[in-house]
Amino acid sequence: MSEVRILLVEDEFSSAEVLALLLADAGYHVTVAADGRQALSRLEDAAPDLLVTDFMMPGMNGAELVKALRATPRYADLPVLLISGAPESALRPYKVPYQAFLRKPFALDEFLRAVANLRDAAPGRGRPATQA
């Protein structure tokens, strides 16, 4: 089966590093971006099957990033896991079109489960190479 490619967008370096290592150990191919603008610039090279993005980031936040992706036909249906230290109810006014949400801090196994659920729910998406 094909390798699942994840674009991980997180402005906190240590969090990004831990999550990227965790995902890579689980068999995912991970591209990391530090904010929404960097994510958009890495989008074509990353060719993600899933997006994991923080909400609160400098420059372009997670809401603006997801809305920009939804405006492009290729990524209009890209599954999105939104992560934030704010409760989900606080993000509703931004009307972010995402499929899954995790509030920080979260357990790493909870994070992996959310990614796997999103991967499995996405039509036509592959599984991690180590789980093939």
pLDDT at 77: 92
Chain length of the chain: 132
Distances from the Cα of 76 to the Cαs of 68, 90, 96, in angstroms?
A: 9, 24, 13
How far is it, in rounded angstroms, from Cα 92 to Cα 84? 12
Mean of per-residue pLDDT scores for the chain = 90
Q: Which residue has the tokens 């109810």?
A: 89
pLDDT at 14: 95
pLDDT at 126: 47
Domain assignment present for 131:
no
* Closest CA relative to residue 53, chosen from 61, 42, 45: 61
Domain assignment present for 14:
yes
Domain assignment present for 20:
yes
Residue 102 sits in which domain range? Answer: 5-120
pLDDT at 122: 77
Q: Which two tokens stand for residue 71?
A: 């405006």
Q: Taking the CB of residue 96, how many other CB atoms lie within 10 A of it?
A: 22
Overall number of domains in the chain: 1
* DSSP structural state of residue 124: T
Domain assignment present for 130:
no
Per-residue pLDDT of 76-129, as tens digits, reads 999 999 999 999 999 888 888 899 999 999 999 999 999 999 999 876 554 444
Domain assignment present for 132:
no
Domain assignment present for 111:
yes
Q: Which two tokens stand for residue 121?
A: 């729910």
Q: Is the pLDDT of residue 53 over 80?
A: yes
pLDDT at 96: 87
For residue 36, give the CATH number of its domain: 3.40.50.2300
Domain assignment present for 42:
yes
Domain assignment present for 64:
yes
